[in-house]
A = this chain, B = another copy of it.
Amino acid sequence: MPKAKYQLVADEIRQRIIKQVYPAKTLIPDQNALAKEFKVSRMTVKKALDGLAREGLIYKRSGLGTYVLGNIPLKAANDSPADAFNGLTKQQGAKRVSSDVIQFDVTFPTADIQEKLHLDANEPVYEILRLRRLEGSPFILEHTFMPVTLVPNLSQAILKKSIYDYIHQSLHLKFGGAYRKIHAALPTKNDIKYLQAAHNEPILEVEQIVWLNTGENIEYSTSRNLFNKRSYTILDINE
């Protein structure tokens, strides 16, 4: 299936910005000119530009035109966006990430997990504790709950690699969204044991609920890492 026209237009303009055909802090051609060049209607050009504006690449001002935004000084190449649905394996590369499966159980959900995943007491869940390693050294301690019915036939082999690949490629499920909460915390016994956290060393935790595009909750998890190993970033566009 081919991409939509507005996506193709957006891809081309994005490339021109990256290659500085449209340099930072300059105006790009107006919507009518772009429509003529790409042989599409102005509405299609506008939809492409709306997407690029949400990505933070351009900003539009009525009556003036569309400008290219410069680089963001705080932004670094190895930033971990807090709004991303690809797992750690995708973000860092499968060769750099390995996982120790510390716990892999099936249980009935506690009242708390029932509420978090919108489940009844008799619907079993997986409880998974994994130590994710980056280049061999401890990186993130992940504690995950998933309903068994939504993710059938989970295995140690899959947990060693990537749960998200299994969900997408084998089960053909699609994520709809996630709600995440970022805390700082004191280390627990598990943090000290597996992340090798020092006593009183700050921990950064992401607690999240993930749902599918059907609206069903598929995951409740916490991800903890040493305070100096990782931070999370957010690009926030007004309106």
Contacts and interface: CB of A to CB of B under 8 A. Distances in A.
Given A85-B238, A202-B202, A227 B183 contact: yes
Interface string A215-239: 1010010000001000111111110
Given A69-B215, A203-B202, A227-B186, A179 B82 contact: no
Given A73-B117, A85-B236, 13 more contacts: A56-B179, A59-B176, A61-B214, A67-B215, A178-B235, A179-B234, A181-B232, A182-B232, A183-B231, A185-B202, A200-B200, A202-B202, A202-B227
A120 interface: no
A177 B235 contact: yes
A25 B215 CA distance: 8
Contacts of A79: 181
Contact of A213 (B56, B61, B177, B203): B61
Interface in A42-76: 56, 59, 61, 67, 69-70, 72-75
B231 A181 contact: yes
A70 to B, nearest CB: 7
Nearest to A84: B236
Interface residues of A, number: 55
Nearest to A58: B215
Copies in the complex: 2
A1 to B, nearest CB: 12
Interface in A175-193: 175-186
Contacts of A183: 204, 227, 231
B184 A234 contact: no
A207 interface: yes
A75 B115 CA distance: 12
Nearest to A208: B74
Contacts of A67: 215
A223 B204 CA distance: 16
A70 B177 contact: no
